[in-house]
A and B are shown apart, each in its own frame.
Chain A
Amino acid sequence: MPLSVSRSLAIIAVTALTTFATRSFPFLVFSGKKVPRIVTYLGKALPPAVISMLVIYCLRNASLTEYPHAAPEMIAIAVTVALHVWKRNNLLSIGVGTVLYMFLIQTVF
């Protein structure tokens, strides 16, 4: 361990409290009040947009301009999507996608 036990525990506490602060924020702001309709609408329209954003977030460091031009990502994603539309089996799609990607970056590219 590079740090003392108390320092390590303090780092975990700070990270935990900061993370919890972000998650509890809307519940604290709107607690006990009637939620404005515009917020209710946003709550319903957000999930598909957020899931799309999280896909882009996962791919944020892939480079299209440098070799291998994000080819491993694109191949693995295409296979995952095709497999999922075909079988609708979550475990299969995630497992095959991940193992294929690992194989591609470790041995092919």
Chain B
Amino acid sequence: MKEYGKAFRIAFPYTIPVLAGYLFIGIAFGVMFQEKGYNFLWAALMSLLVYAGSGQYLAVNFFVPGFSFIQMIVLTLMVNIRHVFYGLSMLDRFKKIGKKRWYMIFALTDETYSLLCMTKTPEGVESGKFMFAICLLDQSYWIAGSVIGAIAGHLIPFNSEGIEFAMTSLFIVLFVESWLSNKDHKPAFIGIGASVISLLIFGPDKFILPAMIIMMVLLLAFRGAIRTEVEAGAGGDSSCH
């Protein structure tokens, strides 16, 4: 247990960007769910069991009479299908970790995935425990944000319009960090190009899956030309980039 305490202490500073982002967007979720008539206990339960940013924003709309379970499954799959691809980066890293990897797989949100990819396990702590600590800390911020939002939205009505931009800022920060630590910017350009083209063709609600497919095809097509190592000492993890 002592080792876990150490892992959490070491992991905490790395999770601060997600702490900031998750408090804001968790609060936004709590406010929206509360407006539907669900109090903070429901918001906490949802964030404990579902644990998905945009997935939970979408799911708020399911809580009306007449919404079928099939519709919920299809819509959730459409929003979250990108997660199918994230595990590919974690197959090796999660392999040596015991049963707790199932919690980490459950907790592999956009933000946690991006953070794990950006972060190299520091000296003096076991990689599995360090990554587990990141996953658990991130989810605790998410639950805390949802509860705060559900309570605050109920007590003090405030103009939260635009608060969801915390998620955009969070990914901008991760993008800048990723850009500065990678020598080869082709994957980033492929990501932007595939997404913009797919967005123009398929529109804002359906572009993610085609974008991921175009991205995979291009990454494979340019396989010989893309270097996947990172700048020495830049904080990236060679097992991920």
A residues contacting B by CB (< 8 A) are 1-3, 8, 10-16, 18-20, 22-27, 30, 35, 38-61, 72-73, 76-77, 80-81, 84-85, 90-91, 93-95, 97-98, 101-102, 104-106
Contact = CB atoms under 8 A, between A and B. Distances in A.
A24 B49 contact: no
A77 B77 CA distance: 29
Contacts of A51: 114, 117, 171, 174-175, 178, 188, 191
Interface of B is mostly: helix
Given A52-B189, A84-B172, 20 more contacts: A13-B49, A16-B50, A19-B76, A23-B106, A24-B102, A26-B88, A41-B223, A41-B228, A44-B241, A50-B82, A50-B114, A51-B114, A60-B207, A76-B165, A84-B173, A91-B17, A94-B20, A97-B166, A98-B163, A98-B169
B173 A90 contact: yes
A48 B51 CA distance: 23
6 contacts: A47-B113, A50-B113, A51-B174, A52-B189, A53-B208, A57-B208
Q: Which of A8, A12, A56 has the most CB of B within 10 A?
A: A56
Nearest to A107: B159
B45 A12 contact: yes
A43 B45 contact: no
Contacts of A12: 45-46, 49-50, 59
A85 B191 contact: no
A90 B87 contact: no
A49 B178 CA distance: 10
B165 A102 contact: yes
| Contact size range, B | 35 or more
B55 to A, nearest CB: 5
Nearest to B77: A18
Contacts of A39: 88, 91
A2 B194 contact: no
Nearest to B39: A1
